[in-house]
Amino acid sequence: MYTLYYAPGAASLAVHWMLIELGVPFELVKLDLDAKAQKQPSYLKLNPSGVVPTLVIDGKPYAETAALLMLLAERHPEKHLAPAPGDAARGEFLQWMFYFANTMQPTYRLWFYGDEAAGPGNEEAAKAQARARIEAAWALVDDKLSGRQKYFLGEKPSAVDFLATMLARWSRNMPKPAQTWPHVGAYVARMKKMPSLIEVHKREGLTEWIGQ
């Protein structure tokens, strides 16, 4: 049994979306981030970093969005959301999962939590750095998507697409949203047609971005 601790539109969205796509039973626990529910002692026992998501699997809590996507994909191999070890596509799969988790996602944290990285009063400088890095990252991704494949690994979606699409969504109110790049724009338009992505927006009460 799965229990996902989440907040609407946060990093938990990719995991919630994948649970829906997998069609497995799960429970949700919504956290109010503005009320700092993620910093309460009871939650810190599950996730000592005090962030969402946390996914409890058979009573044991696990964290880190990209790891959770990889774990879920591995636990449900019949859905083919991750190439198995030894598969020719495995290297590219790992590369892009780590690119988004390790290179791109932290720059969004810098954008949304500028004071955390640069100290109070330096938020604007941190955001300017973050913006430049996020835009450079989307330019690189645009180049990758300029080939003819529909998804990151080819003709079928994988865990990479769940992470990449969520990160593209996060740029929606930035000066240059990810969809501004032509190949990313075409990719995002394709992803937005995925019924499970539309469904997770409904379930989290999110109206922005998905219908645009």
Ligand X SMILES: N[C@@H](CCC(=O)N[C@@H](CS)C(=O)NCC(=O)O)C(=O)O
Is 61 a binding residue for ligand X by CB under 6 A? The answer is no
Contact 165, 197 (CB under 8 A): yes
Is 65 a binding residue for ligand X by CB under 6 A? The answer is yes
- Candidates 18, 22, 52, 126; binder of ligand X (CB under 6 A) is 52
Is 109 a binding residue for ligand X by CB under 6 A? The answer is yes
Is 64 a binding residue for ligand X by CB under 6 A? The answer is yes
Contact 126, 118 (CB under 8 A): yes
Q: How far is the CB of 131 from ligand X (least distance, A)?
A: 17
Residue 99 CB partners (closer than 8 Å, separation 6+): none
CA distance 26 to 162: 18
- Candidates 4, 18, 51, 153; binder of ligand X (CB under 6 A) is 51
- Candidates 2, 5, 11, 114; binder of ligand X (CB under 6 A) is 11
CA distance 151 to 97: 13
Binding segment toward ligand X, per CB under 6 A, in 60-68, 160-168, 179-187, 203-211 = 60-68
Is 185 a binding residue for ligand X by CB under 6 A? The answer is no
Contact 38, 91 (CB under 8 A): no
Q: How far is the CB of 165 from ligand X (least distance, A)?
A: 15
Q: Pick between residue 33 and residue 89 the one whose CB is nearest to ligand X.
A: 33
Q: Pick between residue 33 and residue 186 the one whose CB is nearest to ligand X.
A: 33
Q: Pick between residue 63 and residue 89 the one whose CB is nearest to ligand X.
A: 63
Residue 197, both tokens: 């992505």
- Candidates 8, 50, 61, 154; binder of ligand X (CB under 6 A) is 50
CA distance 31 to 83: 33
Closest CA to 6 of 51, 68, 64: 51
Closest CA to 169 of 184, 158, 154, 159: 184
Is 130 a binding residue for ligand X by CB under 6 A? The answer is no
